[in-house]
Amino acid sequence: MPLVVFAMLAVVQVALVVRAQVLVVHAAREAARTASVDRDPAQAVAAARRVMAGVEVEQGARPGIGEPHRVTVRLRYRTALPLVGVLFPDPSLSAAAVMGIER
């Protein structure tokens, strides 16, 4: 029985990491979408952090209208589920999104 509980907790921990990766991808898309319409780079960072707190946002210089703009979002996810969290190393999650500058 303890082995079954341990296995279930391990599955939950993996599911939490997968959920965090999905949120990092969503944060990258939101940041790229915001950067495509707003000249202020801080707005793209704020958009990403509204999706997931604690992310680091990296973006290059803003190109001209119609040009692609790349935004990368990174997060060091802490695996802290009791009993099994210490067995999983803390993964570094990242995602990038590219959108054309609209205005």
Predicted model pTM:
0.90
Domain of 65, in residue numbers: 2-100
Band of the pLDDT at 6, cuts 50, 70, 90? confident
Inter-residue contact 54 to 79 (CB < 8 Å): no
Inter-residue contact 86 to 20 (CB < 8 Å): no
The arithmetic mean of pLDDT across residues 23-31, rounded, is 98
Number of domains in the chain: 1
CA distance 97 to 28: 6
Provide the pLDDT for residue 82: 82
pLDDT at 42 over 90: yes
